[in-house]
Chain A
Amino acid sequence: MAEYYGSKVVDIFNTMPVRFKPDGVKGVDVTIGYDILGEGGGTWVVTIKDAALKVEKIAGDLPKCSVVMTADAEAFVGGALGKIDPGEAFASGKIKVAGDIIILGNVLPKAFEKFTPIVRARAIVESMVERFRPEKAEGVDLKIGYDLSGEDGGAWTAIVKDGTCTVKEGLDPDCTVTMRMVSEVFVGLNLGKIDPAAAFGSGQVKIEGDMMAAGATAKLFKKFEVAGAEEKQGEELISLKCIPSIRHRFATGSHMGKWFKGLKEKKFYATQCPVCGRTQIPPREVCAVCRVRCDEFIEVGPKGTVTMIDTVYYASPDPLTGKVRQTPYAALFLVMDGSTPSESFAHELNPKDLDRIESGMKVRPVWAKERTGSYRDLLYFEIDD
């Protein structure tokens, strides 16, 4: 029967009773019809009523249902496995829904655990090549036959020779050892769900040939692990994402307006306190020491003296652009020429001077070609030599 992404359509219906969560569907009374088209498809009716589940395969037309899903087999399996986007499958017409579509979104996730692929004997046998441990197989020369009955069975031979392992279809006529069992038992043994000693003792596993070799095979291979098993065991964790957008409005006020106009003209304006004479750069309306208005502007700079260097190695995103800055970079604290020495002004250092910069050095501003009246009009300061 056709497999899609390693699973069959019937797997999804057959595992429904195991995946069913009665607690999730209290008071729910729905019938869901499935018409799965293509190879491996068919018609099913799933009834959920009084917290009980009934899954029936139907021959012929669907009876009246609360909702009917008509789907391409591949899209149906892919959707159940999360391999394809249900939205796209709807848009492309691979999945169609008639009736109360809300049921599919609201009831189904509460009614069933997520479908995880059924492990089949073939996948286990074929993975032996990858699971082979050559370091444990020095000098080993073995042919191990697997004769597995049942719907998902088959016959394979694993050949271990010269530190390699190959798997071929069918039983080799001169197998060192041949193991016969129902494929479900083989899967159970490999998943650790069936105890090997019990399976052998109860006759579920029949071994022909070299019994010692049969016992030795286990150490030649790593344990079979189900792909995505961690996801199945993992607990659901809640993480919420949102992008709040914040409107902002910045009014320069009189003094910062003058400051930005100065930058546009390659000038640094400071205010000077009429009482104590100290300068403030960028300009501020009030002297915080004397508590008087400062409405007198003087031009300072454009060069300054470095008083402190703050080198940053941590790459933090720029809040305005979201881009992560190149590190390291350095912020400089400067006393501009003509300022009172207690008032420093901070700006960035030209990265090319990172290795040479020292306190006490003279620096000069580097201006942007196009200036608009913003902090970006000033690119950075660099050593004035």
Chain B
Amino acid sequence: MSVCRNINTKDCFVMTGKMALPNQYFAGRVGSKFIISLRDAKKILGVKCPKCGLVYVPPREYCEKDLEKLDQDQNWVELGNEGVITNFTIVNYNDKHLPRRAPYVLALIKVEGADTPFAHIVEGIESEHMKIGMRVKAVFAEQTTHTILDIDHFEPIRA
């Protein structure tokens, strides 16, 4: 490297190693109910704020607008397994933590009955054919991972 030309590097050295980071993720009561429903009933659940009527998915414990507590049984609503693409991006790089090999489509999907979209993978379509407003449906995973990936991906609904 030209920038290092005049530098004395005789004392330089490199250290390599491996760090283990024990990690625990707790989905919470609300998150657990959401995932268990995906896993066992293959149904997407949301919560509806009794005050403003907004339906959140993934469900959350409090409404961000009027701070209503949302986790009571009567606020849970079953949503459709089909939805509309509200936005999308093409992931063009590979990394260990990513759920697919690049390139793949990551989209924001608003399922029927929901007011908030959530991000998921869209498969079965070339990225250049992706359009906002397109209808897609959930394809559930055969093996549970106890995560949002219990929906394996969404795929376009052919007209």
A interface residue numbers (CB < 8 A to B): 23-24, 110, 235-254, 257-258, 260-261, 295, 319-320, 322, 373
State in angstroms the CA–CA spacing of A240 and B146 once bound together: 8
Q: How far is the CA of A257 from the CA of B14 in the complex (A)?
A: 9
* Other-chain contact of A238, B12, B13, B36 (Cβ < 8 Å): B36
Question: In the complex, A319→B31 CA distance in Å?
Answer: 29
Interface 9-residue window, one of B2-10, B62-70, B108-116, B117-125:
B2-10
Question: Within 8 Å CB of B23, what residues of A?
Answer: 241-244
Binding site for A on B (CB under 8 A): 4, 6-29, 31-33, 35-36, 40-41, 146-147
Q: Is the CB of A245 within 8 A of B20?
A: yes
Query: Contacts of B10 on A, CB cut-off 8 Å?
Result: 257
The closest CB in chain B to the CB of A236 belongs to: B36
Q: Which of chain A's residues have a CB closer than 8 A to the CB of B15? A: 249-250, 252
* Bound Cα distance from A244 to B18, whole angstroms: 10
**Given A254-B4, A295-B6, A320-B19, 13 additional A-B pairs, CB 8 A:** A238-B27, A239-B25, A240-B147, A241-B23, A249-B14, A250-B14, A250-B15, A251-B13, A252-B13, A252-B14, A254-B12, A258-B11, A373-B13
Complex Cα distance, B17 from A249, in Å, reads: 6
Q: A245 and B19: CB pair below 8 A?
A: yes
CA distance A253 to B8 in the complex (A): 10
In contact, B12 and A252 (Cβ under 8 angstroms): yes
CB distance from B28 to the nearest CB of A (A): 8
A243→B24 CA distance, assembly (Å): 8
Cβ–Cβ < 8 Å partners of B11 in chain A:
252, 254, 257-258, 260-261
Determine if B146 and A238 form an interchain contact, defined as CB atoms under 8 angstroms apart.
Answer: yes
Contact yes or no, A239 B26, CB < 8 A = yes
Closest to A239 in B: B26
In the complex, what distance in Å separates the CA atom of A246 from the CA atom of B17? Answer: 8
Q: Which residue of chain A lies nearest to B35 when distances are taken between CB atoms in the complex? A: A238
Q: A238-B32, A239-B26 are in contact. Are A248 and B16 (CB under 8 A)?
A: yes
B26:A237 contact, CB within 8 angstroms: yes
In the bound complex, how far is the Cα of B33 from the Cα of A243, in angstroms? 25
Chain B residues positioned under 8 Å from A246 (CB to CB): 18-19, 21
- Give the chain B neighbours of A252 by CB distance below 8 A: 11-15
Residues on B with beta carbons closer than 8 Å to the beta carbon of A239: 24-27
Query: CB < 8 Å: which of B6, B22, B28 contacts A243?
Result: B22
Residues of A within 8 A of B41 (CB): 23
B12 touches A236 (CB 8 A): no
> Closest Cβ of chain B: how far from A333's Cβ, in Å?
26
* Complex-state Cα separation, A14 to B54, whole angstroms: 46
- A253 to B11 alpha-carbon distance, docked (Å): 9
Q: How far is the CA of A249 from the CA of B16 in the complex (A)?
A: 4
Q: How many angstroms from the CA of A162 to the CA of B21 in the assembled complex? A: 60
Q: A253 — which chain B residues lie within 8 A by C-beta?
A: 12
In the complex where A244-B23, A246-B19 touch, is A110 in contact with B40 (Cβ < 8 A)? Answer: yes
CA distance A262 to B20 in the complex (A): 30
Minimum Cβ distance to chain A for residue B15 (Å): 5
Shortest distance in angstroms between B23's beta carbon and chain A's nearest beta carbon? 5
Q: Are B21 and A238 in contact (CB under 8 A)?
A: no
- The docked-state distance in angstroms from the alpha carbon of A26 to that of B9 is 69
10 smallest beta-carbon distances between A and B, as pairs:
A257-B11, A257-B12, A238-B27, A238-B32, A261-B11, A250-B15, A254-B7, A237-B32, A240-B25, A239-B26
Which partner residue on chain A sits nearest B36 by CB separation?
A236
Chain A hits for B22, CB < 8 A: 241, 243, 322
Kindly state the separation between the CA atoms of A295 and B21 in the bound complex, as whole angstroms: 37
Q: Give the CA-CA distance A239 to B41 in the complex, in Å.
A: 19
Q: Which of A235, A257, A322 contacts B29 (CB 8 A)?
A: A235
Assess the A235–B32 pair: CB atoms within 8 A. Answer: yes
Complex Cα–Cα for A238 and B36 (A): 8
In the complex, what's the smallest C-beta–C-beta distance from B118 to chain A, in angstroms? 17
Measured between beta carbons, the chain A residues less than 8 angstroms from B12 are 251-254, 257
Out of A110, A244, A257, A295, name the residue touching B13 (CB < 8 Å). Answer: A257
Centre residue among B11, B15, B25, B31 by max chain A CB count within 10 A: B11
What are 6 inter-chain pairs, A to B, with CB distance below 8 A? A23-B41, A237-B27, A240-B146, A241-B23, A242-B23, A295-B7
Inter-chain CA distance A184–B21, complex, in Å, is: 53
Instruction: Identify the closest chain A residue to B145 (Cβ).
Output: A240
Cβ of B9: which chain A residues have Cβ within 8 Å of it?
A: 254, 257
Question: How far does the Cβ of A320 sit from chain B's closest Cβ, in whole Å?
Answer: 8
Whether B26 pairs with A248 at a CB distance below 8 angstroms is no
Complex: A249 Cα to B13 Cα, angstroms: 11
**Which residues of chain B are near A254, meaning CB under 8 Å?**
4, 7-9, 11-12
Minimum CB–CB distance for A193 against chain B, Å = 24
Whether A251 lies near B19 (C-beta < 8 A) is no
Q: Is the CB of A319 within 8 A of B36?
A: no
Minimal Cβ-Cβ distance residue in B for A261: B11
Q: Shortest Cβ distance from A373 into chain B, in angstroms?
A: 7
User: Which of B18, B26, B29, B40 is A245 in contact with, Cβ under 8 Å?
Assistant: B18
